[in-house]
């Protein structure tokens, strides 16, 4: 029986349930909680989560959780944990920290005490008095929430939204993880046409295409846990090979995007190429106001400008009105859009059939869907 650990797949506000469902679909039962989804599993499960989760930010291994009302309790609690299972004599182990509503308010002191307690533990285990920290890195996080301290190791490394395909950013691009979540929360299902009439650098359509092609979002990148000591390299290789075998770009059909800005379209094509999907999504320069799509059913999905600057507000409101006309020109289609503009529905000309609240960076936004058949309407 392989060792089972506790893990958290961290997620942005509003995406915790989406990530828990993604884990369930991978065959890893998970429970959504504030800030992510918690699951129990082997290191192979964590590798699979890193490779396949589209909407999570990171995968963390929970080394321990305990009550800490004083720095002494924090020190003793940290020293009692089995750090030698993950940290070798030469491992680099930086400690990050965060505190919320805790009596131990100084993050720097919590970090320093955690580091000292781990060093004390390792000195005893390895019988050395000095650690050079020259080898692989294991990043440790100490997080104090109320009186509870939680110690985690970062199993992802670079955040999971960094899939490797987006190297140039256009105007206000969506984070890949949020884009993937909007794709899965939209009424679009593979087999139906999907179009983003304001696609910018293409993130939404590329995430949709990756999903349709069964392309694991982390297929071409590495994860921190792969360089941890004692990891089953062979098993990780098999998991990657299986993911490669599932990737089939020929499954992509009916996904397209357009934007009024030729530079954005150039970037979208470049990103598509870098995702290994060159030519599989049609990106064209066009004004959304002239957009006409064929097909009785289909889905528009977009992240229009928000008009955050007062000078752009009027223009955006006119654009939202034209988006309402776009949907009316396409009976049988749905339109889903994310925006921070509070007057979107008024400008669009009707109430949304479904709404969800998210943060796009620091902006509180609503993700709205219009045009759902009566039986699917749910606020
Ligand atoms: C917030 S950005 C979209 C970012 C995109 N989701 C991404 O990840 O790169 C809004 C986009 O709407 C485009 N846009 C504004 N007005 C337009 C119009 N009338 N027709 C088509 N595109 C328009 C802008 O050029 C810009 O790329």
Q: Whose CA is nearest to atom 13 of ligand 1?
A: 198
pLDDT of residue 170: 66
Q: Name which residue sits closest to atom 27 of ligand 1, judged by CA.
A: 200
In whole angstroms, give the CA distance from residue 64 to residue 80: 9
User: Which of 260, 316, 339 to mutate for ligand 1's pocket (most ligand atoms within 8 Å of CB)?
Assistant: 260
pLDDT of residue 143: 95
Q: What is the pLDDT of residue 181?
A: 98
Give burial (CB, 10 Å; 0-12/13-18/19+) of 110: buried
CA–CA gap between residue 152 and residue 7 (Å, rounded)? 9
- Are 107 and 154 contacting, i.e. CB atoms less than 8 angstroms apart? no
Q: How many CA atoms lie within 13 A of 149 on its CB side?
A: 31
2-51 per-position pLDDT tens digit: 899 999 999 999 999 999 999 999 999 999 999 999 999 999 999 999 99
Q: Contact, 135 vs 92, CB < 8 A? A: yes
Atom of ligand 1 nearest to the CA of 319: 19
Distances (CA, A) of 65 to 2, 40, 56, 73, 372: 22, 15, 22, 12, 45
Site residues for ligand 1, CB cut-off 6 Å: 170-174, 197-198, 200-201, 203-204, 259-261, 264, 287-289, 303-305, 319
* Shortest-distance atom of ligand 1 to CA 286: 21
Kindly state the average pLDDT of the residues 151-157: 98
Q: What value does the mean pLDDT take over residues 310-316? A: 84
What is the whole-number distance in angstroms between the Cα of residue 168 and the centre of ligand 1?
15
Q: Can you list the domains of the chain with their CATH numbers?
A: 5-154 (3.30.2130.30), 176-213+248-376 (3.40.50.150)
For the cut 60, the answer to whether the pLDDT of residue 379 exceeds it is: no
Task: Report the number of secondary-structure helices (H) and strands (E) in the chain.
Answer: 10, 14
Q: Give, for ligand 1, the residue of 167, 171, 308 to mutate: max count of ligand atoms closer than 8 Å to Cβ.
A: 171
d(CA 86, CA 335): 48
Distance 292 CA to ligand 1 centre (A): 17
- The alpha carbon of 200 and the centre of ligand 1 are apart by a number of angstroms equal to 5
**Distance between CA atoms of residues 73 and 95, nearest Å:** 18
Mean pLDDT of 88-117: 91
Mean pLDDT within 270-292: 96
| Best mutation site among 268, 304, 323, 365 for ligand 1 pocket (most ligand atoms within 8 Å of CB) | 304
- pLDDT-based confidence at 106, cuts 50/70/90? confident
């Amino acid at each position: 029986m392989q060792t089972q650990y506790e893990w958290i797949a961290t997620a942005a506000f509003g995406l915790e349930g989406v990530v828990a469902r993604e884990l369930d679909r991978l065959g890893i039962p998970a429970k959504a909680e504030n800030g992510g989804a918690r699951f129990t599993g082997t290191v192979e499960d964590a590798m699979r989560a890193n490779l396949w989760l589209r909407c999570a930010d990171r995968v963390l291994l929970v080394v321990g959780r305990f009550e800490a009302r004083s720095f002494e309790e924090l020190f003793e609690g940290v020293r009692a944990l089995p750090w030698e299972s993950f940290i070798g004599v030469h491992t680099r182990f930086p400690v990050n920290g965060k505190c919320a509503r805790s009596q131990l308010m100084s993050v720097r002191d919590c970090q320093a005490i955690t580091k000292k307690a781990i060093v004390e533990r390792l000195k005893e285990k390895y019988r050395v008095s000095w650690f050079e920290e020259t080898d692989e890195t294991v990043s440790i996080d100490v997080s104090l929430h109320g009186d509870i301290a939680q110690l985690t190791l970062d199993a992802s490394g670079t955040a999971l939204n960094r899939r490797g395909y987006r190297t140039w950013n256009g105007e206000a691009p969506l984070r890949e993880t949020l884009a993937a979540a909007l794709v899965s929360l939209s009424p679009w299902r593979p087999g139906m046409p999907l179009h983003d009439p304001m696609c910018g650098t293409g993130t939404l359509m590329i995430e949709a295409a990756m999903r349709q092609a069964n392309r694991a979002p982390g297929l071409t990148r590495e994860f921190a846990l792969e360089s941890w000591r004692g990891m089953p390299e062979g098993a990780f290789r098999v998991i990657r090979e299986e993911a490669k075998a599932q990737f089939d770009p020929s499954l992509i059909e009916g996904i397209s995007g357009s934007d009024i800005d030729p530079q954005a379209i150039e970037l979208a094509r470049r990103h598509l190429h870098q995702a290994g999907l060159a030519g599989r999504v049609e990106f064209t320069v066009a004004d959304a106001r002239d957009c006409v799509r064929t097909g009785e059913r289909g889905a528009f999905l977009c992240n229009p400008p928000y008009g955050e600057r007062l000078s752009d507000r009027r223009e955006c409101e006119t654009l939202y009105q034209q988006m309402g006309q776009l949907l009316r020109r396409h009976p049988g289609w749905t339109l889903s859009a994310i925006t921070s503009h509070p007057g979107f529905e008024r400008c669009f000309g009707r109430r949304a059939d479904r709404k969800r609240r998210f943060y796009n960076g620091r902006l509180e936004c609503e993700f709205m869907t219009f045009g759902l058949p009566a039986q699917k309407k749910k606020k």
